[in-house]
Amino acid sequence: MPLWEISLVTFTALFAMVNPLSVVPSFVAMTGNMTKGTRARVALIAGLATTAVLTIFLFFGNVVFKFFGITLPAFQIMGGVYFFASSVMSLLEDESRPETTRSNRAPDEKMVHAAEAQDAFSVAVVPLAIPLLSGPGAITSVMLLVALHKTFEARLAVLGGIAAIGVASYLVLLAALPISRFIGVRGRVVFDKVMGLLVGAIGVQFIIDGVRPLAKEMLAGMK
């Protein structure tokens, strides 16, 4: 696979999992009392922190595989099941109450007041970058990419996709206020459903890719 294609696949897969548009309501709520400059700084730090977290798992994820003796097919199947389950949960969410059913994306009043008492850096890192942007789904995606692309050049291509995700997250958060006004609650729900379908398709493909070599081994053993 060409390096540019690896970067593109990385960006596409991670964008579906990171889904920065779903974080817009949380960002608006947590930075509502901040100045424009402070909000921009929070967006920048969140983008950088997201890139840093995913990069750490990119270059040290193989250590986890070796330590626990995890094979690629096993992680592909488990990762696929996780993605598919996340997709089903996203698609079955109650659209009529998006502000209350999405507890990890639309913070309640207590969360908003707590965020106001923190400085820009802490808000940007936790909870925006971790776990809203670089959550379990994004980290699992990176771990799968680590298992699939073992050469240093391929890892650099994956890093390019991760960097692009960081930039995209920064730009989306930077424009959070106009985006929030433009798409509204219903628009965000529709976007989340589309992302849910994409995540589900990615999960099914991961399961197929993981089962295929195991099936070949079983058939070979029966001969």
Instruction: Read off the pLDDT of residues 53-81 as tens digits, 9 standing for 90 and up.
Output: 999 999 997 788 788 888 878 888 888 89
| CA atoms of 196 and 92, how far apart (whole Å) | 10
- pLDDT confidence band for 110 (50 / 70 / 90): low
Nearest Cα neighbor of 210 from 72, 91, 27, 101 is: 72
Instruction: Identify the weakest region by mean pLDDT among 7-16, 117-126, 137-146, 208-217.
Output: 117-126
Query: For position 217, what pLDDT does the model report?
Result: 84
Q: Is the model's pLDDT at 97 over the cut of 80? A: no
Q: Is the model's pLDDT at 99 over the cut of 80? A: no
* Residues belonging to the chain: 223
Query: Average of pLDDT values for 130-136?
Result: 88
Give the residue extent of every domain in the chain. 3-68+92-181
Query: For position 109, what pLDDT does the model report?
Result: 52
In terms of average pLDDT, the best of 30-44, 68-82, 114-128 is: 30-44
Nearest Cα neighbor of 111 from 19, 196, 29, 14 is: 29
Query: For position 220, what pLDDT does the model report?
Result: 82
The tokens for 203 are 């999960």
Query: For position 94, what pLDDT does the model report?
Result: 67
Query: For position 117, what pLDDT does the model report?
Result: 42
Average pLDDT, the chain: 84
Query: For position 92, what pLDDT does the model report?
Result: 86
Residues 6+ apart with CB under 8 A from 4: 157
- pLDDT confidence band for 194 (50 / 70 / 90): confident
**73 vs 98 pLDDT, higher one:** 73
Query: 162: burial class by Cβ within 10 Å (0-12, 13-18, 19+)?
Result: buried
Query: Average of pLDDT values for 141-168?
Result: 94
